[in-house]
Amino acid sequence: MSEPFERFLYYPDRIPPDMPPPPWTPAGASEVWMESGDGTPIHGLWWDGPAESPAVLFLHGNAQEVYSWSLVREDLAATGARLLLIDYRGYGKSGGEPSEEGLYMDGRAALSWLEGEGVPGRMTFVFGKSLGGGVACEIARGRELAGLVLESTFTSLSSVARNLFPFARGIMGPDDAYESIRKLPEVSCGVLVIHGDQDALIPFSEGQKLYRAAREPREMYAVEGAGHNDVAVVAGPAYGRRIARWIEDAQQASLGRGG
């Protein structure tokens, strides 16, 4: 991917290395570090819990950092799952600069970190929001996982680039950038696609296409009246309950497969 195009794609916010989590960060968060495949240090927040609880790896969108994204802990509280929220390279306290291959390495490093904490793949759910969905599809393919959640994400970057980046015409990047729809058939776990039906940034039809490309078991959660960034707000308490129910079913199926 060209350097000019990447400037339109990634909007990282930095965090001073010595800055602690702000007071509004949901309780129980621990700051954690891991090393990506090329040695880049990756920073994250970890909410631990009972060893029998599943874990969610949350991969955020193309802006802000883990402190700003930490409120997803409250959105997912109904699931009872442990939560790992990471900053990609170039974001927050993480080192390096963002790139497609780099973000994939960072996502894989987070999965390895969870395994090191005693969380096997069959108890791990990967949750990708917007750009994070592109990372999630890549790291989920060919891997044992309990489930994959894609919220407000796209089939491929090229399919929505003109909508996302109106000022980047002529430098749109390669056609296969973050090409999730091609990768979904290689994902063997259950897939939950969540999308607001009024999303003006990444059209609802993109979520529908991802749903159709996924293997069974798959589920579509269309949130009426929701746009791109307000899915959980518009859905209200039903958001957490719906995801919790899906995670419970997927976890039982995953553990059953694992014997």
Catalytic residue among 70, 130, 152, 254: 130
241: Cα within 13 Å, side-chain hemisphere: 4
Q: Per the structure block, which two tokens stand in for 145?
A: 């996982």
Q: Is the Cβ–Cβ distance between 196 and 226 less than 8 Å?
A: yes
Active site residue 130: yes
The DSSP output letter for 2 is -
Residue 112: burial class (beta carbons within 10 Å; 0-12, 13-18, 19+) = middle
Amino acid identity of residue 33, one-letter, is: W
Catalytic residue among 106, 180, 199, 254: 199
Task: Say how many CA atoms lie within 13 Å of 142 toward its Cβ.
Answer: 5
Cα Rg, the chain, nearest whole Å: 17
Catalytic residue among 43, 60, 195, 228, which? 228
**Residue 102 structure tokens:** 């780099």
DSSP one-letter code for 36: -
- By annotation, the residues acting in catalysis are 130, 199, 228
